[in-house]
Amino acid sequence: MDITIYLEEAAQVSIAFIIGAVIGLEREFRSKPAGFRTMIFICVGSCLYTILSKESNTVSPDRIASNIVTGIGFIGAGVIFKEGISVNGLTTAALIWITAALGMAIGYHNYPLAVVVSSMVVVALFVLEPVQRFINRLHKVKDYKVRTSDTSDLFKTELEQFFTAHDISFRCMKMIKENNDAVYLYRIGAPKHDYDMVNDYFLKHKNIKSFDV
């Protein structure tokens, strides 16, 4: 029995542990669904399955690798959820996917590729965050989902008169009826990105039951 083989495999899963921990720290810091321990488990588990697939004499390694991708897809889907009219969790799902890929790369001894991709992930998570915030500040439009019990045309007219009076560009994207309420989906562009004015108006409007951004 060659002990060096087991030492090498132990080193592989240890490297997977470290990479998963680095990625998981960022998710844990931002209180995301898949955090520190989850990313470690994903990276180490993918690495372990890859190692075992190479040692198996009865099952094709390709089949095991493809099943890893399928299984990770189910985990990624579990962290994506819809809140109002926005979808959250896509970044975490993508990180789960790429963390599993990094574990597989380590399992296949492709350390240079694993290091390069890990570095790119860390840069995207930590360094590019200010860039994303800057881009978000430049975002000129927001989608509002407004729910009201007033189903008359007067409500829509009043809303759009407010937009026009305050130089707010708008477009009614959709208008539907849910139960006994009217629901409007507006794409709004506020001057100087002052959406507090719009939010305050919606909060104080007596006929608006709720709104989502």
**CB of 184 within 8 A of CB of 158?**
no
**DSSP class of residue 142?**
E
Top-tier CATH class for 140-212: alpha beta
Would you give the DSSP letter of residue 193?
A: G
Reported as type and span, the H/E element at residue 171 is strand 169-178
pLDDT at 6: 85
CB contact set of 85 (below 8 Å; sequence gap of 6+): 143, 145, 185, 212, 213
Longest Cα–Cα distance in the chain: 83
Residue appearing with tokens 């470290």: 18
Q: What is the pLDDT of residue 114?
A: 93
Name the residue ranges covered by the structural domains of the chain.
3-135, 140-212
| Residue 196 Cα to chain centre, angstroms | 26
Q: How many CB atoms within 10 Å of residue 11? A: 11
pLDDT (0 to 100) of residue 59: 65
Report pLDDT for 47: 93
Per-residue pLDDT at 191: 72
- Residue 138's pLDDT is 67
Instruction: Evaluate whether 68 touches 9 at the Cβ level (below 8 Å).
Output: no
pLDDT tens-place values along the chain, 213 residues long: 568 888 889 999 999 999 999 998 888 887 777 788 999 999 999 999 888 888 776 667 677 777 888 888 888 888 877 665 567 788 888 999 999 999 999 999 999 999 999 999 989 888 887 887 777 666 677 888 899 988 888 899 999 999 998 888 888 888 888 888 899 999 888 776 678 888 899 999 888 998 887
| Crossing angle of helices 90-107 and 3-29, rounded to 10° | 170
pLDDT for 2: 67
Supply the pLDDT for residue 20: 93
